[in-house]
């Protein structure tokens, strides 16, 4: 008898689960923007919510607990939360370190149990399922490709490759591509040229300008697709709009289309299409130091990527036509690499950089906010005396050093027009300090609570 009762209770609980809230949070960011650390910090914060002081559900005492759940459906690997946390905390055998770059898609569901306020001080228990996806940032740049045809993309890519700092990196590939006969489909030559194109993309990524607009994304991180025909193509100079049968341009266009159909499209459809909140992580510091060309490239990449998503107010029509992204947080990451006084200027710089896109999103009905955050704070503020005066600086463990150093990153440009390569601003990379992350406590961070309040505050009300 009791088993029957338990069974009925289970059914009822399951039926109640249909009323639970679900939020799919899209953590958008190019490679090295800090997606993995952001997700880990978010999960760790919510599992040990002592430090999210500004999250209203916590401040009002309505938070019960959060729990990691297996993701429904079984085809996507689970996000390696524990492994990343292990990297960040360090162990007896190794120092704390940043996690390695993400190589594949993974997902995680965090269920949050809380109480919704009703009238007259009453409360109702509620559950929010927060679904998060992690993926290689390189792949994000495939999204702008989805709306382009091969000829258009070729023109853009070739024109881009011939400008500024890219010109010297792309010379080898362009020479090979121009030498290819228009009618020939000589596969070894194609493979050679595709390799040269890939080498150019890799070189551009590591160039001092830190180029961001590197397409297609799988060329940088092919995973198990390495060498597949869908990944053996390249933009052609003077690609015709209507290529002839059996021409090189036709072959390239076919492979481009199959790349879109079989690689880029499914990635977007399966993992990113249905998100309803978005955080756009941007690591602005290196780009600010690298100069105007680097920033312009970053802006192109961000604008192109965001264009693929659907933003706006969700309505009852969303039930029919799918969700829209109702809130977008632009987060300048690694704010802890600057003294506190520079945080607001950094957020303002990001606002200015994404200004046009943000206006479009606002017009569509999405809510926008910019914030300078640090998912994991690895420095502390320090006042530093130099021959030049006393300045607010930071102290931390630089990537290339074994002892704590006091650092002045220089003068942060106060507007995009003031960005130069003059060396007035030289940010230094820091790594996590021993014992800064603890397993039983939320990690030290900057404005993660503000970020979460903006992204999830209304879902947790």
Partner 1 sequence: MSDEPNPPDANGPRPFRRAASTQAPEHNTDRPASRRAAPNPNAYTTADPESDTQDPVQLPASALTSAPRRSWVWRLLLAGFALGGTALAAWLVDSAIASVQVGSVLGLLTAASLALLGMALVALIIGEFVSLARLRSRTKIRVLVEQATTTRDSVQSEKALSALLAIHSRRPALAWALAQYRDAAADIPDAADKLVLYEQLVLGPLDEACVAEIRTIARRAAVLTAFAPNPILDAVFVLWLNLSIVRRVAHVQGLRPGAAASWALLRRTILAMIAAGGMEALGDMMPAAVAGSIIRTVARRVGEGAVNGILTIRIGVAALEACRPMPFAAREKPSVTALARQTVGG
Closest CA to 301 of 36, 104, 31, 105: 31
- Sole binder of partner 1 in the list 165, 345, 365, 457 (CB under 8 A): 345
Q: Using the rule CB under 8 A, which residue among 425, 433, 452, 460 binds partner 1?
A: 425
Which structure tokens are listed for 333? 């990451």
Residue 450 in the binding site for partner 1 (CB under 8 A): yes
The residue written with tokens 């903006």 in the block is: 454
- One residue of 424, 429, 431, 457 binding partner 1 per CB under 8 A: 424
Site string for partner 1, 159-198 (x = CB under 8 A): ----------------------------------------
Q: How far is the CB of 4 from partner 1 (least distance, A)?
A: 41
d(CA 110, CA 129): 6
Find, among 108, 109, 126, the residue nearest to 117 by Cα.
126
Instruction: Check if the beta carbon of residue 250 is closer than 8 Å to that of residue 243.
Output: yes
Stretch that binds partner 1, among 99-107, 184-192, 325-333, 343-351 (CB under 8 A): 343-351
Cα–Cα distance, 29 to 283 (Å, whole number):
9
Does 409 interact with partner 1 (rule: CB under 8 A)? yes
CA angle 455, 17, 129 (to 5 degrees): 25
Nearest residue (CB) to partner 1, 27 versus 407: 407
User: What would the x/- binding string for partner 1 be over residues 68 to 107, using CB under 8 A?
Assistant: ----------------------------------------
Q: Could you give the CA distance from residue 135 to residue 154 in angstroms, rounded to a whole number?
A: 26
Count residues binding partner 1 (CB under 8 A): 57
Please name every residue paired with 181 in a beta bridge, in sequence order, or none if there are none: none
| Per-residue burial over 275-314, b = 16 or more CB atoms within 10 Å of its CB, e = otherwise | bbbbbbbbbbbbbbbbbbbbbbbbbbbbbbbbebbebbee
Q: Print the binding letters for residues 24-53 with partner 1: x by CB under 8 A, - otherwise.
A: ---------------------------x-x
Instruction: Give the Cα separation of 391 and 361 in Å (integer).
Output: 38
Q: What single-letter DSSP state applies at residue 311?
A: B
- Of the residues 404, 431, 457, 458, which one makes contact with partner 1 according to CB under 8 A: 404
Please state the closest distance from residue 118 (CB atom) to partner 1, in A: 12
Nearer to partner 1, 76 or 384 (CB): 384
Task: Confirm or reject binding of residue 405 to partner 1 (CB under 8 A).
Answer: yes
Scan residues 250-269 and list those touching partner 1 (CB under 8 A).
Answer: none
> Taking CB under 8 A as the criterion, which residues in 50-69 touch partner 1?
51, 53-54, 59
Q: Is 418 in the site for partner 1 (CB under 8 A)?
A: yes
Q: What is the footprint of partner 1 within residues 102-161 (CB under 8 A)?
A: 119-121
Nearer to partner 1, 99 or 410 (CB): 410
Binding to partner 1 (CB under 8 A) within 278-337 occurs at 292, 295-296
In 180-291, alpha helices (H): 187-206, 248-259, 265-267, 284-290
382 binds partner 1 (CB under 8 A): yes
Q: Alpha-carbon distance 42 to 23, whole Å?
A: 14
> The dihedral of CA 274, 277, 278, 279: what is its sign?
negative
Strand partners, 360: none
Select from 68-76, 94-102, 172-180, 386-394 the region that touches partner 1 (CB under 8 A). Answer: 386-394
- Phi then psi for residue 162, to 5 deg, are -95, -5
d(CA 430, CA 395): 9
Kindly tell me which residue out of 65, 167, 175, 426 binds partner 1, with binding defined by CB under 8 A: 426
Classify the C-alpha dihedral 143-146-152-157 as positive or negative: positive
Stretch that binds partner 1, among 102-110, 192-200, 245-253, 412-420 (CB under 8 A): 412-420
Cβ neighbors of 344 (< 8 A, separation 6 or more) are 372
First to last CA, the chain: 39
Residues making contact with partner 1 (CB under 8 A)? 51, 53-54, 59, 119-121, 292, 295-296, 340-341, 343-345, 348, 382, 384-389, 391, 393, 395, 398, 401, 403-411, 413-426, 428, 444-447, 450
């Amino acid at each position: 008898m009791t088993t029957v009762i338990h069974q009925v209770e289970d059914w009822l609980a399951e039926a109640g689960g249909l009323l639970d809230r679900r939020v799919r949070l899209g953590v958008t960011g190019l490679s090295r923007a800090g997606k993995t650390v952001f997700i880990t910090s978010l999960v760790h914060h919510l599992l040990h919510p002592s430090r999210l002081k500004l999250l209203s559900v916590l401040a009002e005492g309505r938070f019960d607990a959060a729990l990691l759940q297996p993701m429904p459906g079984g085809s996507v690997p689970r996000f390696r939360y524990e492994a990343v946390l292990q990297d960040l905390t360090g162990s007896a055998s190794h120092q704390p370190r940043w996690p390695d770059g993400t190589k594949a898609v993974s997902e995680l569901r965090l269920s949050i149990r809380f109480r919704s306020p009703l009238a007259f001080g009453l409360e109702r228990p509620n559950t929010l399922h927060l679904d998060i996806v992690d993926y290689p940032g390189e792949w994000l740049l495939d999204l702008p490709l989805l709306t382009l045809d091969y000829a258009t993309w070729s023109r853009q890519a070739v024109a881009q490759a011939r400008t500024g700092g890219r010109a010297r990196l792309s010379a080898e590939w362009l020479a090979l591509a121009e030498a290819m006969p228009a009618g020939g489909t000589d596969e070894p030559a194609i493979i050679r040229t595709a390799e040269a194109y890939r080498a150019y993309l890799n070189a551009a990524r590591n160039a001092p300008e830190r180029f961001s607009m590197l397409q297609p994304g799988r060329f940088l991180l092919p995973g198990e697709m390495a060498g597949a025909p869908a990944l053996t193509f390249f933009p052609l100079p003077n690609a015709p709009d209507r290529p002839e049968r059996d021409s090189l341009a036709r072959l390239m266009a076919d492979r481009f289309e199959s790349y879109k159909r079989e690689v880029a499209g499914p990635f977007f459809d399966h993992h990113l299409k249905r998100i309803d909140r978005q955080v756009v992580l941007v690591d602005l510091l290196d780009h600010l130091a690298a100069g105007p060309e680097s920033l312009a490239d970053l802006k192109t990449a961000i604008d192109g990527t965001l264009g693929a998503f659907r933003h706006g107010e969700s309505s009852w029509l969303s039930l029919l036509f799918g969700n829209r992204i109702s809130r977008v947080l632009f987060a300048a990451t690694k704010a802890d690499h600057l003294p506190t006084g520079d945080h607001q200027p950094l957020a303002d710089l990001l606002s200015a950089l994404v200004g046009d896109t943000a206006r479009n999103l606002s017009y569509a009905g999405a809510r926008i906010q910019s914030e300078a955050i640090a998912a994991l704070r690895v420095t502390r503020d320090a006042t530093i005396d130099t021959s030049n005066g006393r300045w607010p600086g930071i102290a931390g463990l630089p990537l290339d050093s074994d002892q704590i150093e006091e650092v002045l990153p220089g003068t942060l440009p106060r507007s995009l027009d003031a960005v130069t390569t003059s060396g007035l601003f030289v940010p230094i990379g820091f790594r996590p300090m021993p014992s800064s992350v603890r397993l039983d406590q939320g990690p030290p961070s900057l404005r993660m609570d503000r970020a979460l309040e903006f992204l999830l505050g209304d879902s947790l009300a």
